[in-house]
Amino acid sequence: MYGHIGKQEVHLSFVGKDITCKVKTATSHERAFVLRNTAIKFFFRALNSLGLEKVKIGVISVLLFPTDYDKTRITLLKDSFAGTILDVETENESILKQITKAGFIAYNREELGQFIDEESIPLQGLFDEPGVLNQTIKEFARRNGIDLMADSQTLQSRLEGVSNDYSNTEMLYKSVTGANLLSKERTKKSFLFAPMSIVVPAYNANKTIAYVLAAIDSQDLTTRDKQKIQVIVIDDGSKVPVQEIIRDTKYSFDLNVVRLEKNQGLSNARNIGLSICHHGTVLFMDADILLSKTYLYEHNIRNQVIPNALFVSFRKNIGFDDPLLNLSTMKRGIENPNAIDDSRVFNQAKKEQAGWGDANINDRLIELLDDTNYFKNYNYGNAVGVYDLPGVVSGHNISLRRENALSVRGFSTEFQGWGLEDKHFAAKVVSQGNYVNPVLNSSVYHIGYGPRGGDQDRKINELNKNYEAYQKLLQEGWY
């Protein structure tokens, strides 16, 4: 956005979910500052009161790509005033030669400016007469997860104001990767793997943790890519320390094991892991989940291209007698299951959902993925049976950009025992304008060995208490 306050030029641009403002004075001095996401609309009002009434607006998609070269930054600007621009900052001459060889025409910034005719861009009002923010700005904010809601709103009201129609990001993803976001086919390995962190809370997971780590180590990635992976295992007071189970095993990735002497619960363990993540993308997974060999690459590419989404894969349940549980076999990597039995695909109301309202009566059958058009039809707080949009997010495997997890302060420790800490986390993330995207071409296996918190009755009691805590938190602020 471009406008004037008196003789001062004002340039506004969104960087991630923040707004960067540059003010150029008549004496050519330039001042720049960045405003955090939660106060953006109020900042617009302040500028409007100072005299910024009309602005020129251009909507440009900016994609940042990681490289394996030092001092190199590659940025793609789609649909700019001068068309699609590949902005390359590097000291590596071979990179510039490769880009030129690919057919790109090189311009410096001064030459590029000659192609932009600012006068041809019409002026628009920053606010309309009743004081409502410009609709182009609001629509851009909604699509890109930029928060324009008032902080005074409850979490419930914020959820009722968001839509999960991620069609726009589908088009963006295809234009960048050439692949369909919802494809069941494997994405071609033509993109660099960005560094990512994996957080694995482990409580008495001595029967499964070695398999979990082996499945990560057997991902279909190069050795160099695996070295970009940080795995953080939070040993949450296990009777048999995780370090004793895996002490003689070597992995291709960077492994950190943090031992807690007393069990403090999933939320606390995940938050500790989040606090020591090194990388921009984070995967939360349980200590009884086996990743198929394409999982990390598929989630990695999606998080690179789409900054405002939470990605979920579906699961197949297996027992300890499954032939898949063989460390020697697992070294070749685990193929995607031929079928999945995830409750988010096909579900029937059952006892452990008691207390979730009348949606469970008469053993209601739900085909959730189909009924919601791959979650796109979750709009403005609607639900299918017991499942609203946050309800389709299961903590056994979710990936997102680390900044999005940190912006909602991680997982709430209000929940004790089994259930709903992941739903509340998702509610906060969704209320900040992030989509929930299913990943259909990479699934996981869940090693099922009964409730970890005790018998089934205890598990149901924990769920009901956590449901009461969740309902209370919905009436509070998202933070």
How are beta strands 397-401 and 309-318 bridged, if at all?
antiparallel
| 104 secondary structure, DSSP code | P
Query: Residues 176, 181, 182, CA angle at the centre, nearest 5°?
Result: 160
pLDDT at 39: 66
Question: Distance (Å, rounded) from C-alpha 197 to C-alpha 233?
Answer: 11
Task: Locate the DSSP E strands across 276-386.
Answer: 281-285, 289-291, 309-318, 347-348, 365-366, 383-384
Q: Which amino acid is at 430?
A: V
pLDDT at 453: 46
Element (H, E) at 405: helix 402-407
User: Which residues have C-beta within 8 Å of that of residue 84, sequence separation ≥ 6?
Assistant: 76, 77, 78
Query: Residues 287, 333, 196, CA angle at the centre, nearest 5°?
Result: 60
Element (H, E) at 155: helix 155-159
pLDDT at 363: 63
Half-sphere exposure of 202 (CA within 13 A, CB side): 33
Residue range 167-474, CATH number: 3.90.550.10
Cα 64 to chain centroid, rounded: 16
- Hey, where are the domains in the chain? 1-57+129-148, 59-120, 167-474
Half-sphere exposure of 174 (CA within 13 A, CB side): 9
Please give the chain's pLDDT, 479 residues, in tens.
778 888 787 877 776 667 777 776 656 566 667 776 666 777 888 888 888 888 888 776 666 665 555 567 777 666 665 566 777 777 777 777 777 766 666 665 555 444 444 556 788 888 887 788 888 888 877 777 777 776 668 999 989 888 999 998 999 899 888 999 999 999 988 888 999 999 999 999 999 999 999 999 999 999 999 999 999 999 999 999 999 999 889 999 999 999 999 999 999 999 999 999 999 999 999 999 999 999 999 999 999 999 899 999 999 999 999 999 999 888 899 999 988 888 888 876 665 554 455 555 556 677 889 999 999 999 988 988 778 999 999 999 999 999 999 989 999 999 988 888 999 999 999 998 899 999 999 999 999 855 444 567 777 788 888 888 999 999 987 66
pLDDT at 175: 86
Q: How crowded is residue 104: how many other Cβ atoms within 10 Å of its Cβ? A: 14
pTM above 0.85, yes or no: no
Alpha helices (H) along 102-150: 109-113, 135-143
Q: What's the helix, strand, coil split of the chain in %, to 5?
A: 30, 25, 45
Question: What values do phi and psi take at 438, rounded to 5?
Answer: -80, 145
131 to 10, 439, 444: CA distances (angstroms):
20, 40, 49
